[in-house]
Structure 1
Amino acid sequence: MDDESYFEPKDGNINVNKDYYLSESLSAKSLNPRISYIRKSKYPPKLLIWLAISKEGISEPYFCPRNLSVIGEIYRNQCIKKHPIPFLEKFHDEGEYYFWPDLAGSHYAKDTLKLLEDLNIPYIPKSANPPNTPQLRPIEDFWGYLKSKVYEGGWEAKSFRMLKQRIRKSIRRVEFSIVQRLFSSVKMNIRKSADNGPLAAIHWALAKLKCN
């Protein structure tokens, strides 16, 4: 599976980065407004990262240039030709795999599909790729896990270069057992969705949470 996700220099979604404590000896009125009222950009600078993942491991990440998205040409040159090939040769040289992209337009563009076919990379056809079912794609959960490691302890990046280094380091520190656990129920969820519809995997996951 492959996917893209955005990373910011700091994660404002975790409590350690958005809260502060006030000593009992101080009143709220005594705070500097620059502390109690923090400006937030409507469109903060972000780093777009692509990677592929399977039950055997994680590919090298690709960092998209600033102010660009993973359009068709970038996706074909960087996310298919340059990065996945070494990953597939290392972990899946027997050829027993299917490449499973998400439904982004660049992933199923005519030129992209032709490139996959020319490289003999079997892929999930768009007609068989269910929309709006992240429960079937453990890479979605992997992003959450990776971000928790990147921003662990309230870490913040002072530059995008530092953020890239932190992401690479965090990927290298991912335990193999985490990847295996993420993929442990993929086949079962796919079968449930095939037999009972795309929502079957979601209902099964919710039922499992209630039981635990």
Structure 2
Amino acid sequence: RNIPEGAPKKHDNKPLFWPYLATCHYSNETKEWHTVNSFDYGPREFNPPNSPELWPIEQHWSIVMRTLRKTPEMAQTIKQFRSKWT
């Protein structure tokens, strides 16, 4: 995801989890797990409403899915996937 303006950006090469606004992503148990396992996470106040049209990756995935659905068979190997995608 794009990190919103003003959000913390430096995370010392630790994984950064940027959740949607699902309540379970911000539960005390989840936040504690992130702390214990050295994961930084995007705070709720920097997370805009869940609007797929605002997230560029969602537009990318819709193009990927539309392209792959045009093929009659599911790729079974990475090589097959690449040949369908390119």
TM over 0.5: yes
Deviations 1:60-102 (A, max 9, x none): xxxxxxxxxxxxxxxxxxxxxxxxxxxxxxxxxx616632111
Is the contact between residue 116 and residue 122 of structure 1 (CA under 8 Å) also seen in structure 2? yes
**What SS is found at the alignment partner of 2:58?**
helix
Distance 2:76 2:19 in 1: 22
Is the counterpart of residue 142 in structure 1 residue 60 in structure 2? yes
When normalised by structure 2's length, the TM-score is 0.56
Is the counterpart of residue 109 in structure 1 residue 31 in structure 2? no
Deviation at 1:147, TM superposition (A): 0.9
> Taking structure 1 as reference, are residues 114 and 136 closer, same or farther at Cα in structure 2, changes over 3 Å only?
farther
Residue 55 of structure 2 aligns with an amino acid whose one-letter code is: R
Give the alignment of 1:94-133 within 5 angstroms: 95=13, 98-133=16-51
Segment drifting more, 120-129 vs 105-114: 105-114
Give the alignment of 1:166-205 within 5 angstroms: 166=75, 169=78, 173=82
**What SS is found at the alignment partner of 1:120?**
coil
4+ residue segments displaced more than 6 Å? none
User: What is the root-mean-square deviation in Å for CA atoms of aligned residues?
Assistant: 3.4
Unaligned segments of structure 2, at least 5 residues? 3-11
Identity among equivalent pairs (%):
30
- Which structure has the higher relative contact order (CA within 8 Å, separation 6+)? 2
Deviations 1:153-190 (A, max 9, x none): 4x36xxxxxxxx64985xx6468xxxxxxxxxxxxxxx
Distance 2:39 2:54 in 1: 21
**Which structure's CA Rg is the greater one?**
1
Give the alignment of 1:145-160 within 5 angstroms: 145-153=63-71, 155=72
Deviation at 1:135, TM superposition (A): 4.3
Deviations 1:100-153 (A, max 9, x none): 111123322322222111111111111221104434423312320221232024
Aligned residues: 73
